[in-house]
Amino acid sequence: MTKVLIVGGGIAGLSAAWALGRRGFEVELFEQGPLPNPRASSYDEHRILRHAYGTMENYGRLMPSAFKAWEALWKDLGRSHYEPCGAVYFLRHETPWYPASRRTLEAAGLGCREIPVDEALQRFPMIRPEGLIRVIETEGAGILSPAKILTDLVVLLGAMGVQLHAGCRVVEIDPDRPCALADGTRHSADVLIVAAGAWVGQLVPPLLDVAQPSRQAVLFLAPPPHLAKPWASAPVLVDDRPEEGCYALPPRQGTRLKIGDHLFTRRGDVDGDRTATDEDVARLRHVAALAFRDFDTYTVLERKACYYTVTEDERFIIRPVGTAAWVLSACSGHGFKFGTLMGEIVAAAAAGECSPDEATHLAAGTITASS
């Protein structure tokens, strides 16, 4: 039986272990913290899952396959941790995002419509009207529950016979032998997969110049009482303005209201703490105040920092390393929503079901499985 070592217990590593376990491989997974690890970028109350990506056509090509991968996981888990609720985009500048997203959605058989601004402001009284020129409502979007997903995946993997090493940090790999050094012990296998998130460059130094760690911040909030009801029934909300903007995930199914942005800092020590500082949240507070009415009346419940890896083109990386290893890195901040799909692609590559070149292009969205 072919044995595979996986370094990293976030959504990518756990999904790769699940995909390989389903294929009958012997799998051993290492995570430097607990499983699941609250310090991992994968660990969160909720994340967006959506089809609309505007001119980021590579993500648009990947998303139908990503939804199929999530459906396969729900089937194995026996329950779903996805709540479809749609998404509404508040555009404050002319942008090619709308026509590009409409094409993607129509190709997937999903709806997309423009809401009159006055109607949108009545439906969403938390939104500031200044500069608002267009409001777009889309289907094919909703909310994933990462902490629940990761916990259920860990339990499922244990039942599948995957050997899990929690609190066991890999400090060195040999992609040719292949093996991994953890807690003074060298573990060997037939194939090695490095899915170490923001730590990937420490184990695969050539990636340091390609996938750059980036410290990102989000705010968890309680809205003022007069806006609590509209927020509780809201879909995913995205405010888009030139060179800045933010997104909001509503408080649903026991979660808190969360606000974040998509401007990469490209800085920070990945071994640092996960409490966001005043500096971390300064820009986020600024753009949130531009997007939402009376933002100064919202109560901050938590300021959280996490780390992504970032590439210039924001494409995911799956590529061979050495003679018997693979590296998997989600380089954009969109990693969780594609986690199950990336795990499936790297598992297929490790199993010899697709060539290294095909795996690399599939992960980047430059080809699709059907092409």
Q: Could you report the per-residue pLDDT of 130-176, keeping only the tens digit for each? A: 999 999 999 999 999 999 999 999 999 999 999 999 999 999 999 99
Tell me the per-residue pLDDT of 240-259, one tens digit each, with 9 for 90 and over: 998 789 999 999 888 999 99
- The fold adopted by the segment(s) 87-139+212-310 is D-Amino Acid Oxidase; Chain A, domain 2 (3.30.9)
pLDDT band of 125, cuts 50, 70, 90:
very high
- The partner residues of 232 in beta bridges, in order of sequence, read none
Rounded-to-integer distance, Cα 70 and Cα 81, Å: 9
Question: Is a pLDDT exceeding 90 seen at residue 368?
Answer: no
- The fold adopted by the segment(s) 1-84+141-211+312-371 is FAD/NAD(P)-binding domain (3.50.50)
Mean pLDDT, rounded, for 42-60: 91
How far apart, in Å, are the Cα atoms of 226 and each of 32, 105, 127, 248? Answer: 44, 34, 13, 18
Tell me the per-residue pLDDT of 321-330, one tens digit each, with 9 for 90 and over: 999 999 999 8
The ranges of the chain annotated as CATH 3.30.9.10 are 87-139+212-310
- Tokens, residue 167: 């609190």
Question: How many Cα atoms occupy the beta-carbon half-sphere of 285 within 13 Å?
Answer: 13
pLDDT of residue 332: 83
Edge-to-edge strand list for the sheet holding 317-321:
163-166, 26-31, 3-7, 191-194, 325-329, 317-321
pLDDT band of 320, cuts 50, 70, 90:
very high
Across the chain, mean pLDDT equals: 94
pLDDT band of 369, cuts 50, 70, 90:
low
- Tokens, residue 152: 């259920």
Question: Is a pLDDT exceeding 70 seen at residue 86?
Answer: yes
pLDDT band of 371, cuts 50, 70, 90:
very low
Helices (H) and strands (E) in the chain, counts: 10, 20
Question: Is a pLDDT exceeding 70 seen at residue 370?
Answer: no
Mean pLDDT, rounded, for 293-304: 97
Entry pTM: 0.95
Share above pLDDT 70 across residues of the chain, in percent, rounded to a whole number: 99
The ranges of the chain annotated as CATH 3.50.50.60 are 1-84+141-211+312-371
Question: Is a pLDDT exceeding 90 seen at residue 284?
Answer: yes
Residues 351 and 23: beta-carbon distance below 8 Å? yes
The residue with greater pLDDT, 324 or 55, is 324
Tell me the per-residue pLDDT of 215-233, one tens digit each, with 9 for 90 and over: 999 999 999 999 999 999 9
